[in-house]
Chains A and B, each alone.
Chain A
Amino acid sequence: MRMSDWLEQEDLRLRQGESSVGGYPYGFMDDGAKKDIRRSILKAVAIPGYQVPYGSREMPIARGWGTGGIQITLSLITPDDILKVIDQGCDGSVNAVNIKKFIQTVADVEITNDTLTATVIQTRHRIPEEQMTAAQILVLQVPYPEALREVEASEAETRRMHAEADYSRMWLYLYEDIVNYGEITISYRYPVTVNGRYIMDPSPIPRWDVPKLHQAETLYLFGAGREKRIYAIPPHTTVEPLEFEDHTFRVEDFSGKSCARCGAADTFLDEVIENESGDRTHYCSDSGYCDKRFA
């Protein structure tokens, strides 16, 4: 169903005074709230990488546990959607399961673990291994939306820095890292320049996932519920990790390692240390993809 058709249908339903799911409006939030969030999303899409402030609503879970992502998902979802929720790549972790149950209750949608059949994927700290398409939306949960917070504590000052594209202090931070440690030591939340303009925090995804943001087919939406910001990377946007000519960006090195379960050697791996033996084994971080290969 097209979004516009769905909105018309919703509108009609509301005028008839129906409340669809469990005594709540469809999608838990009232219509005004969803409209407000959709407007913020549109603005975020129109200015890639710019943090749009929005009125973050109270959700039935604590702020800082994915409420930004949930609000985006709920404001976009329709009964035809198929939802996947992952937490650091895993479909079965407590946070992911609870969010899935909640959204299923209030939005009456089908749930899947398969990246390719999902229409909306909400994620914490990973981008799925399988290539996503233009028909899908990836919603990322963001704890700290401000990429410049490391170098500047004041919100007023970071806003000025963004407005004037005054990013020399961020670059200086990377310079000092290289001088002190021989390389850039940021392992996750690696800052990127979006569309040649804004420096953006890609949420705490590993470096491994950063190249997937560049010229992607899929719409990426970022929601920070506690910090009350929404930002976006629309499809086919240039996204470049900050790097120097003589110290280029590189992703995690898993050469010689592979998943102990499915054998994949081209995925982002989690290291697991066995309690008794102290042996180190590796498993795919993306559990849905690993299941698919293992089956």
Chain B
Amino acid sequence: MEPLIRIRGLSKRFGNGCERCLSSTGPEYETNRCAHCGSVVACNDVSFNLYKNEALGIVGESGSGKSTLVRLLHFEWDASDGSVELHSDAVLDALPELFEHGCMYSRNLLGLSPFQKRQVRNALMGIVYQNPFLGLRMNVSSGGNIAERLLGAGWRNIGAMRRRAAELLEKTEIPLERMDEPPKNFSGGMQQRVQIAKALSNNPLILFLDEVTTGLDLSVQARVLDLIRTLQSEFKLSLLVVSHDLGVINLLCQRTMVMKYGRVVEAGLTDQILQDPQHKYTQLLVASQL
């Protein structure tokens, strides 16, 4: 089976950079800040594949580059280097201009114009942030939050958009009579579920989950994770799950990557990584959290 999306050599550097940045940062040096020029190497040479309907976990402590990775893939930040290619099965019909004639994989998505990047995002990506304030407009109705993505994708029928919003809010267990209320009136768990509904509005193939359960109490965490698992199997989603919580990763993901100081230090099946960690940082992580 071919991967849905291929990521090669993805890097992000903040600052001017120098030729010694890469050789003086990383796990061996216990820092991601270049001692010579002060640049921060947030993410360096990250390569992986994401397959259809799989959940890939990314673990690591804060500052390890997990969220940077998601922001690069969601086109919120511009990458310094690397390539992201889509399998033609995914979006050939919707965005034929991304594919050279007869090629199975798209051009490098990181080289697209901002307009094209937004088209790609609207066509196949959804994102759920740790902080609902990032993903939602708190003063706009919950239905409107979902409609925004549909409007961006060219929907122009209020009735159809409201039916779609109602369907998604029902799936995420938000009472429909609260559809026209703004999310600022809701509890943290409900806001997170509205965010999930919004992320799913455009029928994405790939869903980015950035620390979605952090800050929620345990029973709410369990319900949100349960919901994500149900939705994943229902919509055949590929998940990229960023978390520092090995419990969340264990529950959702078949494969896992461990990051430290902007580098991937270990990758493999989640069970393997949790049962038999090879890298000493992973060993520390597993020993301290399980």
Contact = CB atoms under 8 A, between A and B. Distances in A.
B289 to A, nearest CB: 40
B37 interface: no
Contacts of B161: 175
A172 B151 contact: yes
Contact of A247 (B141, B144, B158): B158
3 tightest A-B CB contacts, nearest first: A168-B152, A171-B151, A245-B157
A171 B153 CA distance: 11
Given A164-B114, A179-B143, A179-B180, A172 B148 contact: yes
A165 interface: yes
A165 B151 CA distance: 12
6 contacts: A164-B114, A172-B137, A172-B151, A176-B140, A245-B156, A246-B157
A178 interface: yes
Interface string A11-26: 0000000000000000
B147 interface: yes
Interface in A211-266: 243-247
B157 A176 contact: no
Contacts of B152: 166, 168
Contacts of A244: 156-158
A169 interface: yes
Residue of B147, B151, B157 most packed against chain A (CB within 10 A): B151
B74 interface: no
A168 B118 CA distance: 12
Interface string A152-190: 000000001000111011011001101110000000000
Nearest to B145: A172
Nearest to A242: B156
Interface of A: 160, 164-166, 168-169, 171-172, 175-176, 178-180, 243-247
A248 to B, nearest CB: 11
Interface string B59-83: 0000000000000000000000000
Contact of B148 (A165, A168, A178, A245): A168
Given A164-B114, A179-B180, A246 B144 contact: no
Given A171-B151, A175-B147, A175-B151, A246 B159 contact: yes
B159 A179 contact: no
Contact of B141 (A160, A166, A176): A176
Interface of B: 114-115, 118, 137, 140-141, 143-144, 147-149, 151-152, 156-159, 161, 180
Q: In terms of DSSP, what is the predominant structure of the interface of chain B?
A: helix
Contacts of B159: 246
A169 B157 contact: no
Contacts of B147: 172, 175
Given A168-B151, A172-B147, A178 B118 contact: no
A175 B142 CA distance: 12
A180 B158 CA distance: 13
Contacts of B180: 179-180
A176 to B, nearest CB: 5
Contact of A175 (B114, B115, B118, B144): B144
Nearest to B179: A179
B113 to A, nearest CB: 8
Contacts of A178: 158
Contacts of B149: 168
A81 B149 CA distance: 50
Contacts of B140: 172, 176
A175 B149 CA distance: 12
B157 A179 contact: no
Contacts of B137: 172
B116 to A, nearest CB: 10
B144 A176 contact: yes
A165 B113 CA distance: 12
Contacts of A243: 156
Contacts of B144: 172, 175-176, 179
B22 to A, nearest CB: 32
Contacts of B156: 171, 243-245
A141 B144 CA distance: 34
Contact of A164 (B118, B143, B148, B157): B118
A144 B151 CA distance: 25
